[in-house]
Every structure is written in C-alpha cells, then in structure tokens.
Amino acid sequence: MPSVTIADIDERLQRLPPDKLIVVYNFVSYLLERDLADLLPDADTHAHAAMLVSEAVLHCDWDRPEEIGID
C-alpha cells in the first residue's frame, strides 16, 4: 500500500465540493469512533474492576453506624 501524507490528502480535499467534504468528514469521524470503540471495552473492564476493588475497601466505611444513621 503506497504511503499517503496529510499534505496529499489535504490537496485532494481542497478540490472537493462542500457536499463531498461532508461525506469525507463523516467517514473520518466513523473511523475515529470505531477505533475508540475498540479501546473502550478494555477501559470499561478496567473501570469495572476498579469499582469492585473500591467497593470492597469502602465497605468497611459504609457499614459504620454513623454512615447508616444508627445512633
């Protein structure tokens, strides 16, 4: 696959009419979101694991009488 630079892409974009620029913009946005979506499941898994660890640590604090309203 030949190498393409941003300058090459920009040169071609300069010649496109506005209706085609919208198509290009939407496609590039799709590519970026797709790549981000590939990363998010891992981030979500790590966040969920951190939540579970935090819950275990904070459980001691949550069960104190002053926290649950017992005098």
- Structural domains counted in the chain: 1
39 belongs to a structural domain? yes
b vs e for 16-31, b when ≥16 Cβ sit within 10 Å of the residue's Cβ? eeeeeeeeeeeeeeee
Cα–Cα nearest to 52, from 40, 41, 44, 42: 44
7 belongs to a structural domain? no
What pLDDT score does 32 carry?
Answer: 81
8 belongs to a structural domain? no
31 belongs to a structural domain? yes
Residue 55 belongs to what domain range?
A: 18-68
33 belongs to a structural domain? yes
9 belongs to a structural domain? no
Q: Which residues of the chain have pLDDT under 70?
A: 36-49, 51-64, 67-71
What pLDDT score does 34 carry?
Answer: 76
